């Protein structure tokens, strides 16, 4: 997709569609005023008839408007001008993009920035790219078709490039999550990461099954042993900072399909388990953006890749595993497998010299029960580090909420036959006991766990985004990297 700036007026540009904005209470942006004057007050009349209110994300179309070169004009609501933030800017561009993408369109022009600051413009460009991308990767007739070209009104080319980089990173994550498990499995995911690294200049290291065994990754390997697909661990490195500076580490759970193992999931719960690698997909998307933006920081991205399947070799309830760190784990639920994968990957991150760690995982249904489908759970051993991440998420308009990590929760994962067990006592506090399990493997490094089980995947479409993978928290990770000071 080509994204470029334009100085042509909204009325004269030759395009399939022109997108203009209206704030709350009918306050038009300059481009919308131009269209209104050209069409002899068509937008004003719609405002007076309360067909246009300026409500955030509201879409009104003017088809073949007289005096306008474009085939149609889309007026999108921007909400209260004083409250416009990156979340609103992203959706303000994504909603009309998604609506217009229902048909093949070569060229769409956006006239949304009204003295917006740089961050708003970048968020909006990202939204325009994300909004026109669908989950129907294998449909002969697409429900959504990406535009060939996007024009953006009178904006610095570097802002457009940055917004496009973010949009492409979000789209990469979404595409990885939306791929079915027969297409994306540990080996093919690692291959996709390698291709991305080649294109962006990232350094990459891939551990195959032999290397994982040599590195004593017994916890990760146990999850993988029930599948015919061999596991992988991928390490991506961005050397943007000073040589020798300790890196920031992003760690992602990459269970490319989760049957639950011997603790088998019911069919309805298994249908979307191709998305159980969304943490890994988020890390890969963020690393692509960090490399393309050439951020002056050292960052490593690590993803553990397995399938959790069933055969005669599958790990069992009651098994005791030896993790890479030397800690022993009693398995009491094979569907609590993501934390077993992350246990070894977190240990590798520590050994790689990470100064601080963020892990992302579609880890627990308990987090959905606690926070719903749109909000991620944050759990940490370092409040200042968590506050930094939460601030970045808020700036990007990605919803996250911190859950407590009281010492008492650690008592629930104490085992009678091993150092720890992989589930807590009963149903209560499941998202937190899972995080307390992970905390056992970070060796005191400042660490935040993000449970993205809710926001990583949409069962139903939103007005601004198709169903399927969302790319949630790619932008937040990039924002953290931008502000990273070691």
Catalytic residue numbers, as ranges: 265, 339
The partner residues of 3 in beta bridges, in order of sequence, read 150
Integer Cα distance of 143 and 135 in angstroms: 9
Tokens of 233: 């661990």
DSSP 8-state symbol, 41: S
Q: How far is CA 216 from CA 213, 236, 325, 443, in A?
A: 5, 20, 8, 17
Long-range contacts of 200-205 (CB under 8 A, 24+ apart): 200/288, 200/291, 200/292, 201/291, 202/236, 202/237, 202/238, 202/287, 202/288, 202/291, 203/236, 203/237, 203/238, 203/239, 204/234, 204/235, 204/236, 204/237, 205/234, 205/235, 205/237
Exposure on the CB side of residue 440, measured as CA atoms within 13 A: 27
Identify the residue whose tokens are 């008839």: 49
Q: Distance between CA 389 and CA 386 in Å, rounded?
A: 5
- Centre a 10 Å sphere on the Cβ of residue 37 and count the other Cβ atoms it contains: 14
CA quadruple 160, 103, 455, 259: dihedral sign: negative
Tokens found for residue 254:
């990459």
Reading the block at residue 20, the tokens are 């203009």
Distance CA 58, CA 60 (A): 7
User: How many angstroms separate the first and last alpha carbons of the chain?
Assistant: 35
Helix (H, G, I), strand (E, B) or coil at 419: coil
- Produce one character per residue of 150-181: b if its CB has 16 or more CB atoms within 10 Å, e if not: bbbbebeeebbbbbbbbbbbbbbbbbbbbbeb
Contact status, residue 434 vs residue 451, Cβ threshold 8 Å: yes
- In terms of Cβ atoms closer than 10 Å to its own Cβ (0-12, 13-18, 19+), residue 294 is exposed
């Amino acid at each position: 997709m080509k994204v470029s700036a334009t100085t042509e007026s909204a009325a004269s540009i030759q395009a399939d569609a022109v997108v203009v904005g209206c704030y709350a209470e009918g306050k038009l942006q300059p481009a919308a005023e131009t269209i209104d004057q050209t069409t002899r007050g068509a937008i004003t009349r719609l405002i007076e008839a309360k067909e246009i209110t300026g409500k955030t994300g509201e879409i009104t179309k003017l088809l073949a408007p007289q005096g306008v070169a474009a085939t149609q004009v889309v007026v999108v609501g921007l909400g209260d001008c004083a409250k416009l933030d990156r979340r609103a800017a992203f959706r303000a561009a994504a909603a009309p993009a998604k609506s217009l993408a229902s048909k093949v369109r070569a060229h769409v022009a956006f006239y949304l920035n009204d003295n917006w600051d740089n961050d708003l413009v970048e968020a909006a460009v990202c939204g325009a790219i994300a909004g026109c991308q669908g989950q129907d990767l294998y449909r002969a007739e697409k429900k959504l078709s990406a535009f060939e070209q996007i024009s953006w009104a009178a904006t610095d080319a570097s802002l457009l490039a940055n917004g496009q980089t973010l949009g492409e990173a979000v789209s990469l994550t979404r595409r990885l999550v939306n791929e079915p498990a027969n297409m994306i499995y540990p080996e093919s995911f690692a291959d996709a990461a390698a291709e991305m690294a080649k294109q962006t200049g990232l350094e990459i290291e891939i551990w195959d099954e032999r290397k994982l065994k040599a590195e004593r990754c017994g916890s990760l390997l146990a999850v993988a042993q029930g599948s015919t697909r061999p596991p992988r661990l991928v390490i991506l490195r961005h050397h943007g900072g000073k040589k020798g500076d300790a890196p920031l580490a992003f760690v992602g759970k990459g269970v490319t399909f989760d049957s639950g193992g011997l603790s088998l999931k019911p069919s309805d719960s298994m249908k979307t388990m191709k998305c159980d690698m969304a943490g890994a997909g988020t890390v890969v998307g963020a690393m692509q953006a960090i490399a393309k933006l050439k951020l002056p920081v050292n960052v490593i991205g690590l993803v553990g890749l397995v399938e959790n399947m069933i055969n005669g070799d599958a790990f069992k309830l009651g098994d005791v595993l030896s993790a890479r760190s030397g800690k022993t784990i009693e398995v009491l639920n094979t569907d609590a497998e993501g934390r077993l994968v992350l246990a070894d990957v977190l240990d590798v991150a520590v050994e790689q010299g990470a100064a601080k760690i963020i892990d992302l995982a579609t880890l627990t249904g308990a987090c959905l029960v606690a926070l719903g489908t749109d909000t991620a759970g944050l759990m940490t051993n370092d409040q200042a580090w968590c506050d930094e991440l939460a601030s970045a998420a808020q700036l990007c308009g990605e919803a996250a909420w911190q859950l407590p990590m009281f010492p008492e929760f650690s008592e629930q994962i104490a085992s009678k036959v091993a150092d720890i067990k992989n589930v807590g006592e009963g149903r209560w506090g499941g998202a937190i006991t899972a995080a307390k399990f992970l905390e056992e493997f970070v060796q005191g490094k400042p660490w935040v766990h993000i449970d993205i089980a809710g926001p990583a995947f949409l069962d139903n479409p939103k007005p601004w985004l198709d169903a399927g993978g969302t790319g949630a928290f790619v932008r937040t990770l990039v924002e953290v990297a931008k502000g990273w000071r070691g």
